[in-house]
Chains A and B, each alone.
Chain A
């Protein structure tokens, strides 16, 4: 098509993963690096994360979301990354072989320029994730106003200066829910309680301390909101205790008055575009299956950040974004080599999430893991056969664990090894 735009490395999403990828791609030598962002400002979800706690790993200090993002945006400006703001990528084509190498095409929309097609030698998917909505929970009761995901409420409060309610109950202990419990409190709203269906907290422990304990907000494990009340605006919720058999305990229902229910019940990588492009999705993560180059099943498409796997800390998102950007730039230059073999990383004991899921021995890599159930005592994190072993003081689903692996450790494995098993076992 004659009106196609060509770029070297195209990045979809200007959140922490995408901006870090852009910086790294430029530093790696890619000439034309463009980040496509649907919002009119870069930063992604960090724009509305005005609380501190970002950047401890990367900058050694506690920054707010916008401050953290600002530092990366400065780097992006210095590196010469271009931004196409207010531009939504709404359709992605299946990559087709070009001059020997595959390239990726997609369609963008911008209010001024309208619909355009872009073709890139390499693409980095960095669309982030979205929140699991109330509808998915099959709640009983009515459908009143006042039921929001925590992130939507955060946008109303922090971006629009609007209060979604006066008296809130929070369902789920995901980090955004905990942050919003405190935020609502600071804005003068009441937060009655936080309920978590599981026997453990799903967010970071520090958020329990700083957002709930410090503000006297109670939280209850093994409890779930089961019914909504109120025809127009929410008037209350029924909460039920969950027994050891993971079923509601009969007769344990309690009615709690509130005008708002905020949900923090899970994040889902946003992979509509990935699916359009025919990219394989890993059921364990709901994100693209990637190797240590953050390369998907389509060799010209890379992915990083929460679109791949939901991280606990933004520092890791940025680090993985940098890796994806650098490899994408190398691919675009026809210089991504080093694949020695293909090994699957598979879950061993007590592992729910792994990224990346494929290792080729092509480069050093950090494997990120989440355990399925908490281990509140000494345990051993391992990668077999004989790749990694380290003792931990504890392992919790809300906090990721890392395994750093050298390329040689993979490439030097006996040829009959096809899988690497990672796990956590109690000591």
Chain B
């Protein structure tokens, strides 16, 4: 039964606060309309936006004429401006697709052709020897490589947070741990009237579906079952910063029927990242790593960059991509009910495409739904936003200045990544609620000790700042509590002194 209570009324509600929902929310925040984002997770980013290769693709990969081929090169260009405006880490590293032997070299020719048609600048096929001159650690087996100078790497945690953060600064409301469980319709079913959530109902004139791996379920609620999401799991290894510099650019294998193949990356934070696998599964939540999967990643990476020292791995992870069976994005408004817009199937190159998808989505809604929402540009819109200052990247003078003004800047909480207490506190003030949330914002726990040193400190700061007991602090929301009780409690429960 629907609860009669209405928790809020908006012009537009966005379902999902991943990179797609985030970029759309920010685009909406340029207008005076009232918008909200519903996110079922406790932290941003949570789904596909959290666990991926953090790549800003050049745009030569996708078949001309597809939506991917349209939005990816456009998104690539937008990131060059956006990373400065929104202050997230971006490394203009370029990428190579590496070919081993004549068959794969023919594939490079095909990609080059795609690239030209898609309008990608600067593409060039170089010989294996020319590649090894620039990147000496790459495999001697590689015979040729397609160089894409416009490809880049971002910190995908920071980027995902940045769009939502800026949207919020410009008036968009964000509801965390709020799962959309149904849609509300006008009595005749012709119009969208809002969403039902785990928190209650929210009314709105327009609903935008950016629900990632669950986007087909949301679309079905609106009566559109024209596409199916096929959750595709990918596993990764991440290595110590000490070996990030083995390579400089981003490396692709030639794609096979299993996807783009394993890539090797020097991340925006100087780690080495290898992966992913590509396993189609029915479970939308299964983000497990597997022994064979991790082996496959390691072997695949060795084809590109041999001799990656395995003992320098600091962690492994896995993510689920919102792959559409069609292979392309699904971005369109429904005719019935009016007011519903799909931004679905946003799989690789989804992160790259997101800003272009967002501006297309908002333009389309503006043109097709003028009767539902008024788009008045907001003169108070501020396009710039600053991330929490990064102690690790500061000059010594900046560090001195900050530490002199606030003792929390003088207290290092995470040794591996040089994170101060001030950064952790600000992350909590700006929305982090869990140990993982703090990590996504400012990185404690991402380093080589994997939280061994900082976890107790982060729990303590979270408890203090949120005014709750440390026993309430979770790793990533839900029942993921870090601690189970106080010492002596089990003994007291047994009646022992």
Interface residues of A (CB under 8 A from B): 38, 86, 88, 90, 107, 109-115, 130-131, 133-136, 138-145, 148-149, 151-152, 155-157, 159-166, 187-189, 226, 231-233, 259-260, 272, 275
> Who on chain B is nearest to A228 by CB?
B288
Q: Decide if B484 touches A232 in the complex (CB within 8 Å).
A: no
A224 to chain B, nearest CB (A): 11
Q: Decide if B486 touches A161 in the complex (CB within 8 Å).
A: yes
Q: Decide if B294 touches A138 in the complex (CB within 8 Å).
A: yes
A-B contact pairs, 10 of them (CB 8 A): A109-B410, A111-B403, A134-B315, A136-B314, A136-B450, A152-B453, A160-B456, A161-B486, A164-B484, A232-B477
B302 to chain A, nearest CB (A): 15
Contacts of B238 in A (CB 8 A): 135
Q: Decide if A111 touches B475 in the complex (CB within 8 Å).
A: no
B91 to chain A, nearest CB (A): 22
Q: Decide if A272 touches B415 in the complex (CB within 8 Å).
A: yes
Q: Decide if A144 touches B285 in the complex (CB within 8 Å).
A: no
Question: In the complex, A88 Cα to B391 Cα: how many Å?
Answer: 14
Contacts of B404 in A (CB 8 A): 114-115
B22 to chain A, nearest CB (A): 23
Q: Decide if A131 touches B449 in the complex (CB within 8 Å).
A: yes
Known: A109-B412, A113-B410, A163-B484. A138 touches B475 (CB 8 A): no
B436 to chain A, nearest CB (A): 9
Q: Which of B455-493 contact A (CB under 8 A)?
A: 455-456, 460, 470-471, 474-491, 493
How many residues on the B side are at the interface (Cβ–Cβ under 8 A)? Answer: 62
Question: In the complex, A243 Cα to B496 Cα: how many Å?
Answer: 44
Contacts of A113 in B (CB 8 A): 410
Q: Decide if A135 touches B315 in the complex (CB within 8 Å).
A: yes
Q: Decide if B289 touches A163 in the complex (CB within 8 Å).
A: no
Consensus secondary structure, chain A interface: mixed
Q: Which of B432-454 contact A (CB under 8 A)?
A: 448-453
Interface centre among B396, B456, B481, by most A CB within 10 Å?
B456
Contacts of B482 in A (CB 8 A): 145, 164
Say whether B106 faces chain A, with CB atoms less than 8 Å apart: no
Say whether B258 faces chain A, with CB atoms less than 8 Å apart: no
Contacts of B289 in A (CB 8 A): 138-141
Interface centre among B287, B479, B487, by most A CB within 10 Å?
B487
Q: Decide if B452 touches A133 in the complex (CB within 8 Å).
A: yes
Q: Decide if B483 touches A164 in the complex (CB within 8 Å).
A: yes
Q: Out of A115, A134, A136, A152, name the residue touching B456 (CB < 8 Å).
A: A152
Contacts of B488 in A (CB 8 A): 161, 187-188
B138 to chain A, nearest CB (A): 24
Question: In the complex, A68 Cα to B56 Cα: how many Å?
Answer: 55
Question: In the complex, A134 Cα to B449 Cα: how many Å?
Answer: 9
Known: A113-B410, A152-B452. A135 touches B314 (CB 8 A): yes
Interface residues of B (CB under 8 A from A): 237-238, 242, 285, 287-291, 294, 311, 313-317, 396, 399-400, 403-404, 407-412, 415-416, 418, 448-453, 455-456, 460, 470-471, 474-491, 493-494, 496
Contacts A112-B410, A135-B238 supplied; 11 other A-B pairs, CB < 8 Å: A133-B315, A134-B315, A136-B314, A138-B291, A140-B288, A140-B290, A143-B287, A161-B487, A164-B482, A188-B489, A231-B285
Question: In the complex, A382 Cα to B450 Cα: how many Å?
Answer: 40
Contacts of A142 in B (CB 8 A): 287-288
Q: Decide if A232 touches B317 in the complex (CB within 8 Å).
A: no
Question: In the complex, A130 Cα to B453 Cα: how many Å?
Answer: 8
Contacts of A166 in B (CB 8 A): 484-485, 490
Q: Decide if A189 touches B490 in the complex (CB within 8 Å).
A: yes
Question: In the complex, A187 Cα to B488 Cα: how many Å?
Answer: 6
Contacts of A259 in B (CB 8 A): 484
Question: In the complex, A356 Cα to B315 Cα: how many Å?
Answer: 32
Contacts of A131 in B (CB 8 A): 449, 452
Q: Decide if B450 touches A133 in the complex (CB within 8 Å).
A: yes
B350 to chain A, nearest CB (A): 22
A123 to chain B, nearest CB (A): 18
Contacts of A233 in B (CB 8 A): 479-481
Contacts of A189 in B (CB 8 A): 490
Contacts of A159 in B (CB 8 A): 456
Contacts of B400 in A (CB 8 A): 114-115
Question: In the complex, A111 Cα to B410 Cα: how many Å?
Answer: 4
Q: Decide if A152 touches B455 in the complex (CB within 8 Å).
A: yes
Question: In the complex, A20 Cα to B120 Cα: how many Å?
Answer: 63
Contacts of A226 in B (CB 8 A): 291
Contacts of A165 in B (CB 8 A): 484
